[in-house]
Amino acid sequence: MALENPNPNPAAEWLSDKSWGVIVRASKLPGFDGLMDSVREEVAEWKAIYDSNEPHKVKYPGRFDAFAGVERLIVLRCFRFDKLVPALLDFVVSNIGQAFIEPPTFDLQGCYGDSNCCSPLIFVLSPGADPMAALLKFAEDMGLKGTQIGTISLGQGQGPIAQSMIERAIKEGTWVVLQNCHLATSWMPTLERLCEEFIVPENTHANFRLWLTSYPSEKFPISILQNGVKMTNEPPKGLRSNLLRSYLNDPITDPGFFNGCPNGPQRFHKLLFGLCFFHAIVQERRSFGPIGWNIPYEFNESDLRISLRQLQVRLSLFCPLLLTTTY
């Protein structure tokens, strides 16, 4: 933006002075000469773009409609900054493909394949994400029984217990999961020493794995981050992505659960979809905070998982009643 703008705003009733300053500045870019004059002379046409619900998809006045790619994004940036992100997504799709705007599903198998017995696997947590259910299901799929995966939530006094678990698992070739490392900052130097001095190839069983979960923290050891496999499981954006995440997570991915209702499986699938759709809506509404709710309640993945299992139990118990009801 120019610090001083000697050109008067031709449409002050709808075009802010800030946006007009951006237009004046953009008019000095190569190929953009005449943009400022076009806005002066074709106020109604540009106002229609300003008022449009999808300004990144409408026709631009005059020669500016021939703009494409970054040039079109610059014009949009001048008038409707709020629609720049959708336009950027369209730009990415048209140039390199749809796959680059859709986050991949969480792949524990791939992360495990990138690790070894001496490299910790680190979950970088985000609000509302709980990787424990997915991790325990993955351990079950890998053939580990309950005693072969030890979990502990770090906190006051839990450090020595975690250390003994690690020392035992190194010899036996089992897994150790240390949750909430950000709550045990005073014990992090000890964990760093264990990783550097004890978890070494000559002393460690090939099947041993150390899993860590932590919110971003300045106290987390840099050396562990550098040597470990880092994962994050951010909440998906959009109803479609939320529904896809729910259907690709436990317990829905288990065929025994999905088809486990002996009577009325179609009704179960409809109710299951409704519950997942409700969960997706609640997740999408988080950006609005508690507006529209009596109390703020996130209804996270753990809540959804419990609700799904409760739905199957209730449906199995009350099948005679449900079979006479139309949905």
φ, ψ for residue 34, nearest 5 deg = 95, -5
Residue 169: its pLDDT value, please? 92
Q: What is the pLDDT of residues 210-226, one digit of tens each?
A: 999 999 888 899 999 99
Q: Which of 163-167, 237-241, 316-320 has the highest mean pLDDT?
A: 163-167
Q: How would residue 188 be classed by pLDDT, with cut points 50, 70 and 90?
A: very high
Distance CA(181)–CA(293), nearest Å, equals: 33
Residue 236 has pLDDT above 80, yes or no: no
Q: How would residue 128 be classed by pLDDT, with cut points 50, 70 and 90?
A: low
Residue 62: its pLDDT value, please? 85
Q: What is the pLDDT of residues 41-93, one digit of tens each?
A: 888 999 999 999 989 888 988 888 888 899 999 999 999 999 999 999 999 99
Q: Is the Cβ–Cβ distance between 196 and 165 less than 8 Å?
A: no
Distance CA(327)–CA(271), nearest Å, equals: 9
Angle, helices 70-79 vs 17-26, to 10°: value is: 150
Residue 177: its pLDDT value, please? 94
Residue 321 has pLDDT above 60, yes or no: no
Residue 319: its pLDDT value, please? 57
Residue 323 has pLDDT above 90, yes or no: no
Q: 168: which 2 tokens?
A: 């035992």
Average pLDDT over the chain, rounded to an integer: 85
Contacts of 48 (CB under 8 A, 6+ apart): 58
Residue 322: its pLDDT value, please? 47
- Comparing 193-197, 224-228, 263-267, which segment has the lowest mean pLDDT? 263-267
Domains of the chain, CATH where assigned? 17-101 (no CATH), 108-232 (3.40.50.300), 239-322 (no CATH)
Residue 214 burial (10 A CB sphere; 0-12, 13-18, 19+): buried
Residue 264 has pLDDT above 80, yes or no: no
- Portion of the chain with pLDDT greater than 70, in percent: 91
- Portion of the chain with pLDDT greater than 90, in percent: 30
Q: How would residue 327 be classed by pLDDT, with cut points 50, 70 and 90?
A: very low
Residue 326: its pLDDT value, please? 47
**DSSP for residue 111:** H
Give me the mean pLDDT over the 24-53 stretch.
89
